[in-house]
Structure 1
Amino acid sequence: MNITPLLNSISKYVSLTDKEIEYLESKVFIRKYLKGQYVVQQGDVCKYECYVLSGCTKTFYVDQEGQEHIIMFSIEDWWTSDMGSFISQTPADFNVQCLENSELIMISHDVVDDLYREIPKLERFFRKIVERAFVASQKRIVRNFSLTAKEQYLYFREQYPLIEQRIPQYMIASYLGITKEFLSKIKSQLILEQ
């Protein structure tokens, strides 16, 4: 099992001994998903925190009218799950679905406390990851209130160029909270401005 990308990610915040790495390897596993498969479904309890080794996922909510609202995308070296459900072990508000064949490192809710007890440094690592996610989420809320749709799209394109190439335009529109037709207009307008 090759969890080197995860170890590289962890090493940006804390350094693990060989013994700690061995213990971590004994507590996680890798699972492959096919394009279209769900990692978490709305209403189910999220049992795993997932690190993306390869592939791309989307996290989304389906409202009562059946409308899909995309909250985030995750690609290599990103984390994905329904964090609220994972922490509280209550039904998930969000779906996590693979947009490509994906390979994820899975950390079960059942072993998280063992990991923190045996490798206390991991608690710091996960705190840092959650802090960054929280700040990004708050900044996204502010952008949604303060930027035009065009400005939001330009920001998305600038921040996530690797994601834009990999996902359909209608999903970007859903993430931005606009229709795919309106996104098309924005893109046409940007071409004319060049």
Structure 2
Amino acid sequence: MFEVLIAHIKNKVDLSEVQEARLASFFISKKLRKKQYLLQEGDVCRHLSFVSKGLLKSFFSDEKGNEHINMFALEGWWISDFNSFINQEQAVLNITAVEETELLLISRDDYDTMMLQIPVMDRYFRILYQNSLVTKDYRLIVSSGYTAEEKYSQLAQNNPELIRRLPHNLIASYLGLAPETVSRIRKKLSLKK
């Protein structure tokens, strides 16, 4: 489980064997069953979570109870309600397992200690945060300026694993489309092949 995290870190920054060994002391492991909550709206997000295996979704519900998916997290991705984690305030997001999932969790205190004791981790997370901002900006452009088919095509091109592993209703929620629209687009694209 820890090997996935180490490989992810080493893909972004250099990590010595001593630093690698020290990292393990900051994390705890957790397993989730399908549909089990990692975080519920109103709770405080106590951990930043790294997905070693499985798939999670982050979402909020509107006043009518409709889910609006904020993001998915596959193997090698981090997930949290970041505002809640950093500020230790009530979460506005829910996080649940779409599949059976294995996680590595780090608490806020351990996160801060890790950053001080292993400075290269500060660089690692800075790279992740920069990439996250770029991705969120791009997602905003796609969601407001692209057609339904273009939104689906962009997701399929950039994250084919999500298209393969997710049911169309979750993809629809993430893209802000009706499930029928996603079914129609999938059918149309399969006929083109």
TM-score, normalised to structure 2, is 0.95
User: SS in structure 2 opposite 1:59?
Assistant: strand
Q: Which residue of 1 aligns with 2:32?
A: 33
* 2:72 partner letter: F
* 2:145 partner letter: S
User: SS in structure 1 opposite 2:57?
Assistant: strand
Aligned equivalents of 2:107 and 2:3: distance in 1?
19
Deviation at 1:81, TM superposition (A): 1.1
* 1:125 partner letter: Y
Q: Give the aligned CA root-mean-square deviation in angstroms.
A: 1.2
Per-residue deviation, residues 7-39 of structure 1 (Å, max 9, x unmatched): 111112222222222221111111111111111
Q: Which residue of 2 aligns with 1:110?
A: 109
5 Å-filtered alignment, 1:1-194, equals: 2-194=1-193
User: SS in structure 1 opposite 2:165?
Assistant: coil
Aligned equivalents of 2:33 and 2:144: distance in 1?
36
Per-residue deviation, residues 75-111 of structure 1 (Å, max 9, x unmatched): 1111111111111111111111001110001111121
Percent pairwise identity:
36
Aligned equivalents of 1:191 and 1:129: distance in 2?
34
Deviation at 1:186, TM superposition (A): 2.0
Aligned equivalents of 2:189 and 2:8: distance in 1?
36
User: SS in structure 1 opposite 2:127?
Assistant: helix
Deviation at 1:190, TM superposition (A): 2.7
Per-residue deviation, residues 108-154 of structure 1 (Å, max 9, x unmatched): 11211110111111111111111111110110001111110110001
Aligned equivalents of 2:11 and 2:183: distance in 1?
39
Deviation at 1:4, TM superposition (A): 1.3
User: SS in structure 1 opposite 2:49?
Assistant: strand
Per-residue deviation, residues 30-76 of structure 1 (Å, max 9, x unmatched): 11111111111111111111111000001111111111001111111
- More moved, 103-112 vs 10-19: 10-19
Aligned equivalents of 2:151 and 2:137: distance in 1?
14
* 2:149 partner letter: K
Q: Following superposition, which runs of at least 4 residues in structure 1 exceed 3 angstroms of deviation?
A: 191-194
Deviation at 1:184, TM superposition (A): 1.6
Deviation at 1:192, TM superposition (A): 4.1
* 2:89 partner letter: T
User: SS in structure 2 opposite 1:165?
Assistant: helix
Aligned equivalents of 1:145 and 1:18: distance in 2?
45
Aligned equivalents of 1:186 and 1:18: distance in 2?
48
Aligned equivalents of 1:141 and 1:131: distance in 2?
16
